[in-house]
Structure 1
């Protein structure tokens, strides 16, 4: 079982880094008041957060240095990623996972950050958080209150429960299953195959989401995971948001047909419709804790990702 980092309290220092693509600096600036005034955190920006190297937020060694600086700084209690994009897989092997293991703290982001979620959990044994980011989400106009509310879990330590009180959910395969919650962005999960950071799905509840991927691409990724034996090993399937994936051709399967095909192949409890991923509202979840999917009650219950008793939010 992965180690849960300590919960937050007002006044804690939060490290802000860009381990993938360069963030929109205007949106990054607009997100600051929420973190400083609403959450009561003191922000510390990575040395290289304004760097740009093509589609990367600085060279691999610079982005990796910001990650390690934040984990090694004892005053930093949480590390928030500014945005996703591309690049975490290029620098993941530059990180010192023994140092990360010895300095457990909250690590938060999604999209391309999926690759680091998997590497950090499997190589350092740390629970991480799949959730909305500064420039990608919080710094935009009219952010949904649920997206902002997701950060409360870092202060409260409460168990999470996703039900149809939030939105309608669809059952693909009936049943109930429990296991460690893993996964994230489908493209990044697939890209880990054959590497030392390959996602371990054995006995796990697998969560998937993606953006800008037409049904044919989603089919390709899931077929590769199936052929690699990854989908046969899971206990349950949680399908998050798949946005902006309109097919480029007239002759196509629908996304629903693709997802149903693989859910039926797997034959384990599966539900879709979770607003987790590239969407607003965006429900944040810890990865590495125990989750229970129950299609009868249409719920996803997840153990807290942080340790210790509650703090005032």
Structure 2
């Protein structure tokens, strides 16, 4: 995975985004269509280059296994430095897939870094007029949050196309994207199945729009016009390869920006390989830091959800109304993701 801290030094494309006037947040838009066997699904690479052996072949394999027909973008195998082609090429693939009436869903093949660079180059008029499920996680958080802000329709925080699609990932995606149902996600049975035990920090229930994703990418969008309004939202977060003090720093950024003070509830998923600190930053565990920042908010909070850079992660909607039950450690959809 690309070291995001090194990559942040070369985000020339993002500078243009910060100069744009902040938009009025998008009103609720028509929802993406329900997926059916035989639908065409785009494979795009919005961020890092697809370089691992057979990575694209794996993505096509999983998408075919869903009963869908994979349609790779023109530049999905491209490369420009550590990116999957130039910013213009990666954006062109996404614009083309939203404009193509035969494409019903858009999968990110992989994450890494680079999605935020293309946000100013996307055709937001075309995207808003053609709601489609965008599916992926990690760096794809930039697309999820920008679509929530500019286009107003739901997306799915779920494995990237080349990830392993194990039972919990596939079952949760099928129920939302194909069946159009409103499942309850998480809970004790799901924790037993995944082998990842959650923990209630603050009990209670709350309702709101589910928004979030990768903590590093979300914090990268702070102060830009691509971040949605978190007032009354249920915030979910995950990350990977971040030392505890850096998680502390990013959560503090969210506090100082007023994001944490506005949410109705918080779910912190998996922070994979986030336990190590440099010796000079020893002293606090990840659990300590989460308690410092989240327990005083006065809203329901639970941690350890099966969300993030782990095998069998839950597929999770972005931009729909949900009910959070921190005591049961569940997220219940209050509306379908698809039409």
TM class by shorter-chain length? over 0.9
Give the alignment's TM-score, normalised by structure 2: 0.86
Q: How many residues align?
A: 302
Q: CA deviation at 1:48?
A: 0.2
Q: CA deviation at 1:151?
A: 2.9
* Unpaired runs of at least 5, structure 1: 309-313
- The answer to whether residue 11 in structure 2 is matched with residue 11 in structure 1 is no
CA–CA distance in 2 between the matches of 1:98 and 1:28?
29
SS of alignment partner, residue 257 of structure 1: helix
**Map 1:1-313 → 2, pairs under 5 A:** 1-23=28-50, 24-36=52-64, 38-135=65-162, 137-138=163-164, 144-152=166-174, 153-161=176-184, 162-167=186-191, 168-250=197-279, 251-303=282-334, 305-308=336-339
* Unpaired runs of at least 5, structure 2: 1-27, 192-196
SS of alignment partner, residue 108 of structure 1: strand
Q: CA deviation at 1:35?
A: 1.8
Going from structure 1 to structure 2, the CA distance change for 1:304 and 1:21 (only over 3 Å counts) comes to farther
SS of alignment partner, residue 216 of structure 1: helix
Going from structure 1 to structure 2, the CA distance change for 1:180 and 1:44 (only over 3 Å counts) comes to same
Give the alignment's TM-score, normalised by structure 1: 0.93
Once the two structures are overlaid, the 10-residue window that deviates more, 122-131 or 19-28, is 19-28
Partner of 1:311: none
For the 8 Å contact 1:216–1:252, the answer to whether it is kept is: no
Deviations 1:137-196 (A, max 9, x none): 13xxxx532223333121111112121111132111111100000010001111111111
CA–CA distance in 1 between the matches of 2:215 and 2:111?
14
CA–CA distance in 1 between the matches of 2:337 and 2:285?
38
CA–CA distance in 2 between the matches of 1:243 and 1:84?
15
Once the two structures are overlaid, the 10-residue window that deviates more, 228-237 or 245-254, is 245-254
For the 8 Å contact 1:110–1:130, the answer to whether it is kept is: yes
